[in-house]
RNA sequence: UCCGACGUAGCUCAAUGGUAGAGCGGGUGGCUGUUAACCACUAGGUUGCAGGUUCGAGCCCUGCCGUCGGAGCCA
C-alpha cells in the first residue's frame, strides 16, 4: 500500500507511487486521456489518467465534479500542470459519485452562493479566507498566551441589562427574558482581578437592523483585560497584537492573498508605532481647510477614475461583441461584471462624498465619530491609527474619566487604513466606585442592577483596562474584501439564517 | 425603520408593448496534454405572487413577497 500523501507535500515525492484522498474539483476529457483536478484541503493538483489504465480510465471518464475519491499514481514533474507536478494515475477508487454539483466553474451571483454556502466553502476563495481566519485567530491567541494571559470563557447568556436592549437578541430563559451577549467585558473585568491578565474569545450578538457590508448579527470578538494597566498600556497591547496578526498572515499566506487579489504592500507598512490622535485633534482635523482640500483632490481623482472605468466598460463591450471563443467571452463578461460593480460602488461613493465633506467640516465636539468621519481620518494615514479621549457623553459608562479633562474618557478606537474603519474599541475602566455610580446615573442606568460589577470596585479595585477586536472586520481589512460576510464560515445577517 | 436597484431555464444573463433566447451546467457522441478545454447533437420555461391598463404584457400601473445595496447605528 503506497503512502497517503497530502497534495501540499506532493513535490517532495517525485518519482514515487503515492495515494491521494480527496475530491474531484474539475475534469477535462480528451479522447483517450482524462485530466482530473484533485483537491484534498491542503492543495490542488492535476491527475492524469490515460486510456491504457483501463479500469481507472473507465472510472474517471464521466466522474461528476465533487465526487470523493482515492487515487494512486506516480508523482512526476510537469511544467504544464499547475503546481509544477502531476499524478500519473494508476488506480482510482470512487468513494462517492456526486450528483450534479450546483456550483459550477462559471460565475454565480451572491444570492445563489449564500444559499449554497455549505458547498461554496469548497471553492478556492472561501478556503483561502478561512485559512487566513485561522491564522489571525491563532496569532491573537498566541500573542496573549506568550504574554502570560489566561483564557477566560465568558457567558453567552446574560441577564437583562437596562442598556440598549433594542440591539440585543432576547432569549426565553425558563420564563425570564435574558439576552445573547454583546461583550464579555464586565465578566472579564472580574476575572482580571483574579488572574491579572486575561482574555476571552467568543461569539457576540447584535440585533441591529443593519444591512450593510460591514454588519453581521453574529460575529467573533477577542477581548483582553489587564490589571494595573492604564490607557497607554492598552494601546501598546492593541498595537502589538495587530502587528502580530498582520505579520503572521504575511508570513504564511502569500499565495492566499494573491488568490484574493490583495496587494500585500499596505500590509507590510503595518509597523508600530501607529499614529495617535486625540478625539479633539481628530475633530480639528476633520474641520480643517487642509482636510477639505485633500478631500476635494480625492474627489476629483475619483471622478476621473470613474470616467476611466466607464470608458473601459465601453471598450470591453465592444471586445465582447467581437469575441468568438466562449472562453474569451467568459473572461470579458467576468471583467465587465466586476467593472460594473466597481463603477456602481464608486458612483455611490462619489455621490455621497460632498455630504461627508460637509459633515466633516461641520463636525461638532461631543458627537461620536460617524462612519464617514472614520473613513476620512483613516485615509490620511498609511497604517492603522488610534483615536483617543472621546467625550464621555458619547461613550459607555465604564470608561475612566480623564484626570486632566473631565469632559473626556481614557479610551481608544483603532481605525484600519484604506477606508476600512474601526476594528478595535477599548478603554481604561473607571476604577473608582463613586465615579462609576455617577456615570451610570448620568446614562440613566440603575447602579443596583450592576451590583456584582460594582463589587469589583469595593474589593481591591485597581487601574485596569482592555479592548475588543472584531475578528471579521479585521479579516475584511487584511484580506482586502468588500464584504464582511465572506470572513465567517456561515454568516448571520439581517434576513439570512440559512444554511 | 427609511431610500434605491433587482426578480426570465439548475446557474449567469439577453429579449422597441407583437412567435421567450444564448452561454454554462445536465444528457448523447467525438478528440492523448487539458488548464473556466474544445467540436457536434439534445432535453430543459405558469418570466416571484395577485390584480389592473391594452387587440396584445417578461416589458406599463398598483399591492404583496423575496434578494441585494445604501442611510442611520455599530465591531
**pLDDT for A378-405, tens place per residue?**
888 989 999 999 999 888 899 999 999 9
| Mean pLDDT of the A93-112 span | 88
Regarding an ipTM greater than 0.85, the answer is yes
Say how far A153 CA is from B48 C1', in Å. 46
pLDDT-derived band at A248, boundaries 50, 70, 90: very high
Within a domain: A494: no
Say how far A303 CA is from B12 C1', in Å. 30
Identify the pLDDT of residue A354. 82
Within a domain: A130: yes
User: Do A345 and A394 sit in the same domain of this protein?
Assistant: no
Domain residues for the domain of A11 are: 3-96
Identify the pLDDT of residue A166. 66
Say how far A330 CA is from B73 C1', in Å. 40
- Rounded distance between C-alpha atoms, residue A376 and residue A279, angstroms: 14
Identify the pLDDT of residue A226. 97
- Rounded distance between C-alpha atoms, residue A197 and residue A76, angstroms: 52
- Rounded distance between C-alpha atoms, residue A306 and residue A317, angstroms: 17
Say how far A75 CA is from B66 C1', in Å. 50
CA angle A296, A297, A300 (to 5 degrees): 85
Q: What are phi and psi of A488, to 5 degrees?
A: -130, 140
User: Do A256 and A306 sit in the same domain of this protein?
Assistant: no
In the beta sheet, which residues pair with residue A70?
A21, A93
| Mean pLDDT of the A266-279 span | 94
Select the more confidently predicted residue: A235 or A62.
Answer: A235
Say how far A127 CA is from B70 C1', in Å. 29
pLDDT-derived band at A82, boundaries 50, 70, 90: confident
- Rounded distance between C-alpha atoms, residue A146 and residue A152, angstroms: 16
Q: Is A188 left (phi over 0), alpha (psi -120 to 50) or beta?
A: alpha
Identify the pLDDT of residue A358. 84
Say how far A497 CA is from B8 C1', in Å. 27
User: Do A151 and A266 sit in the same domain of this protein?
Assistant: yes
Nucleotide B1: closest residue by CA–C1': A209
Q: Any idea which nucleotide's C1' is nearest the CA of A46?
A: B35
Nucleotide B10: closest residue by CA–C1': A102
Say how far A252 CA is from B63 C1', in Å. 55
Alpha helices in A147-288 (DSSP H): 185-195, 231-252, 254-260, 265-268, 279-287
Among residues A302, A330, A363, which one ends one of the domains? A363
Cis peptide bond N-terminal to A464, omega within 30: no
pLDDT-derived band at A106, boundaries 50, 70, 90: confident
User: Do A225 and A290 sit in the same domain of this protein?
Assistant: no
Instruction: Return the minimum-mean-pLDDT range out of A260-264, A279-283, A351-355, A357-361.
Output: A351-355
Select the more confidently predicted residue: A252 or A171.
Answer: A252
First to last CA, chain A: 39
Residue that has been written with the C-alpha cell 494512486 in this structure: A72
Residue that has been written with the C-alpha cell 487566513 in this structure: A132
Nucleotide B4: closest residue by CA–C1': A348
User: Do A268 and A413 sit in the same domain of this protein?
Assistant: yes
Identify the pLDDT of residue A224. 97
Identify the pLDDT of residue A329. 67
Q: Any idea which nucleotide's C1' is nearest the CA of A105?
A: B36
Q: Any idea which nucleotide's C1' is nearest the CA of A208?
A: B73
Q: Any idea which nucleotide's C1' is nearest the CA of A79?
A: B33
Q: Which long-range contacts (CB under 8 A, 24 or more apart) does A312-315 make?
A: A312/A339, A313/A339, A313/A340, A313/A343
Alpha helices in A156-214 (DSSP H): 185-195
User: Do A139 and A160 sit in the same domain of this protein?
Assistant: yes
Within a domain: A386: yes
Which three cell numbers, joined as nine digits, stand for A18? 503515492
Among residues A43, A62, A96, which one ends one of the domains? A96
In the beta sheet, which residues pair with residue A426?
A412, A467
Among residues A46, A61, A96, which one ends one of the domains? A96
Q: With both helix axes pointing from N to C terminus, report the angle between A471-479 and A231-252 in degrees, rounded to the nearest 10.
A: 50
pLDDT-derived band at A324, boundaries 50, 70, 90: low
User: Do A141 and A34 sit in the same domain of this protein?
Assistant: no
Residue in A153, A160, A202, A154 with CA at minimum distance from that of residue A177: A160
Identify the pLDDT of residue A5. 95
pLDDT-derived band at A328, boundaries 50, 70, 90: low
- Rounded distance between C-alpha atoms, residue A487 and residue A473, angstroms: 8
Say how far A477 CA is from B49 C1', in Å. 41
Say how far A280 CA is from B43 C1', in Å. 69
Within a domain: A36: yes
| Mean pLDDT of the A8-19 span | 94
pLDDT-derived band at A258, boundaries 50, 70, 90: very high
| Mean pLDDT of the A149-155 span | 96
CA angle A242, A245, A251 (to 5 degrees): 140
Return the CATH number at A417. Answer: 3.30.930.10
Within a domain: A199: yes
Within a domain: A24: yes
Chain B nucleotides with an atom closer than 7 Å to a protein C-beta: 1-2, 10-13, 23-28, 30-39, 66-75
Q: Any idea which nucleotide's C1' is nearest the CA of A82?
A: B35
Return the CATH number at A57. Answer: 2.40.50.140
Say how far A121 CA is from B43 C1', in Å. 31
Nucleotide B5: closest residue by CA–C1': A344
pLDDT-derived band at A333, boundaries 50, 70, 90: confident
Residues belonging to chain A = 499
User: In sequence order, what are the residues at sequence separation of 6 or more whose Cβ sits closer than 8 angstroms to the Cβ of residue A455?
Assistant: none
pLDDT-derived band at A210, boundaries 50, 70, 90: confident
User: Do A124 and A233 sit in the same domain of this protein?
Assistant: yes
User: In sequence order, what are the residues at sequence separation of 6 or more whose Cβ sits closer than 8 angstroms to the Cβ of residue A496?
Assistant: A114
Within a domain: A373: no
Instruction: Return the minimum-mean-pLDDT range out of A142-146, A228-232, A334-338, A369-373.
Output: A334-338
Identify the pLDDT of residue A15. 93
Q: Any idea which nucleotide's C1' is nearest the CA of A467?
A: B75
User: Do A261 and A302 sit in the same domain of this protein?
Assistant: no
Q: What are phi and psi of A208, to 5 degrees?
A: -65, 140
pLDDT-derived band at A4, boundaries 50, 70, 90: very high
Say how far A414 CA is from B59 C1', in Å. 50
User: Do A128 and A239 sit in the same domain of this protein?
Assistant: yes
pLDDT-derived band at A482, boundaries 50, 70, 90: confident
User: Do A22 and A37 sit in the same domain of this protein?
Assistant: yes
Which three cell numbers, joined as nine digits, stand for A46? 492535476
Which three cell numbers, joined as nine digits, stand for A271? 509597523
Q: Any idea which nucleotide's C1' is nearest the CA of A65?
A: B25
Residues of chain A with pLDDT > 70, as a percent, come to 96
| Mean pLDDT of the A350-361 span | 82
Q: For residue range A20-58, what is the model confidence (pLDDT) as tens digits?
A: 999 999 999 988 999 999 999 999 999 999 999 999 999
User: Do A152 and A249 sit in the same domain of this protein?
Assistant: yes
| Mean pLDDT of the A345-372 span | 82
As for how many domains chain A has, the answer is 3
Q: For residue range A157-208, what is the model confidence (pLDDT) as tens digits?
A: 988 765 556 688 888 899 988 899 989 999 999 999 999 999 999 999 988 8
Q: Any idea which nucleotide's C1' is nearest the CA of A496?
A: B67
Within a domain: A270: yes
Q: For residue range A396-447, what is the model confidence (pLDDT) as tens digits?
A: 899 999 999 999 999 999 999 988 889 999 999 999 999 999 999 988 888 9
Amino acid at each position: 500500500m503506497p503512502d497517503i500523501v497530502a497534495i501540499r507535500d506532493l513535490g517532495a515525492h517525485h518519482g514515487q507511487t503515492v495515494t491521494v484522498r480527496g475530491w474531484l474539483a474539475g475534469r477535462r476529457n480528451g479522447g483517450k486521456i482524462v485530466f482530473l483536478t484533485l483537491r484534498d484541503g491542503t492543495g490542488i493538483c492535476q491527475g492524469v489518467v490515460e486510456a491504457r489504465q483501463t479500469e481507472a480510465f473507465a472510472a474517471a471518464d464521466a466522474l461528476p465534479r465533487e465526487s470523493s475519491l482515492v487515487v494512486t499514481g506516480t508523482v512526476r514533474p510537469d511544467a504544464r500542470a499547475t503546481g509544477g507536478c502531476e499524478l500519473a494515475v494508476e488506480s482510482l477508487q470512487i468513494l462517492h459519485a456526486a450528483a450534479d454539483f450546483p456550483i459550477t466553474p462559471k460565475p454565480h451571483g451572491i444570492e445563489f452562493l449564500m444559499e449554497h454556502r455549505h458547498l461554496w466553502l469548497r471553492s478556492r476563495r472561501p478556503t483561502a479566507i478561512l485559512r487566513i481566519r485561522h491564522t489571525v485567530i491563532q496569532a491573537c491567541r498566541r500573542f496573549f498566551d506568550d504574554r502570560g494571559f489566561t483564557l477566560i470563557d465568558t457567558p453567552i447568556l446574560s441577564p437583562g441589562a437596562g442598556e440598549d436592549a433594542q440591539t440585543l437578541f432576547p432569549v426565553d430563559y425558563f420564563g425570564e427574558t435574558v439576552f445573547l451577549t454583546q461583550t464579555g467585558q464586565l465578566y472579564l473585568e472580574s476575572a482580571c482581578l483574579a488572574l491579572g491578565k486575561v482574555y476571552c474569545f467568543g461569539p457576540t450578538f447584535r440585533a441591529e437592523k443593519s444591512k450593510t457590508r460591514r454588519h453581521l448579527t453574529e460575529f467573533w470578538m477577542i477581548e483582553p483585560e489587564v490589571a494595573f494597566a492604564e490607557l497607554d498600556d492598552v494601546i501598546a497591547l492593541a498595537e502589538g497584537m495587530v502587528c502580530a496578526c498582520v505579520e503572521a498572515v504575511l508570513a504564511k499566506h502569500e499565495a492566499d492573498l494573491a488568490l484574493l487579489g490583495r496587494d500585500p504592500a499596505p500590509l507590510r507598512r503595518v509597523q508600530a508605532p501607529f499614529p495617535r490622535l486625540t478625539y479633539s485633534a481628530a475633530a480639528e482635523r476633520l474641520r480643517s481647510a487642509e482636510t477639505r482640500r485633500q478631500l476635494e483632490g480625492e474627489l476629483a481623482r475619483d471622478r476621473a477614475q470613474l470616467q476611466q472605468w466607464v470608458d473601459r466598460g465601453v471598450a470591453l463591450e465592444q471586445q465582447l461583441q467581437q469575441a468568438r471563443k466562449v472562453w474569451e467571452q467568459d473572461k470579458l463578461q467576468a471583467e465587465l461584471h466586476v467593472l460594473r460593480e466597481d463603477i456602481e460602488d464608486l458612483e455611490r461613493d462619489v455621490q455621497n462624498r460632498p455630504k461627508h465633506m460637509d459633515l466633516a467640516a461641520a463636525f461638532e465636539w461631543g458627537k461620536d465619530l460617524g462612519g464617514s468621519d472614520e473613513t476620512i481620518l483613516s485615509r490620511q494615514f498609511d497604517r492603522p491609527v488610534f483615536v483617543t479621549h472621546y467625550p464621555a457623553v458619547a461613550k459607555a459608562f465604564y470608561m475612566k474619566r480623564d484626570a486632566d479633562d473631565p469632559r473626556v474618557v481614557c479610551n481608544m478606537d483603532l481605525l484600519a487604513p484604506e477606508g476600512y474603519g474601526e476594528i478595535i474599541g477599548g478603554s481604561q475602566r473607571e476604577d473608582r466606585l463613586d465615579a462609576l455610580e455617577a456615570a451610570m446615573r448620568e446614562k440613566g442606568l440603575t447602579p443596583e442592577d450592576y451590583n456584582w460589577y460594582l463589587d469589583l470596585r469595593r474589593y481591591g479595585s485597581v487601574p485596569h483596562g482592555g479592548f475588543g477586536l472584531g475578528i471579521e472586520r479585521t479579516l475584511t481589512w487584511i484580506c482586502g474584501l468588500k464584504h464582511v460576510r465572506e470572513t465567517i464560515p456561515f454568516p448571520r445577517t439581517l434576513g439570512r439564517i440559512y444554511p
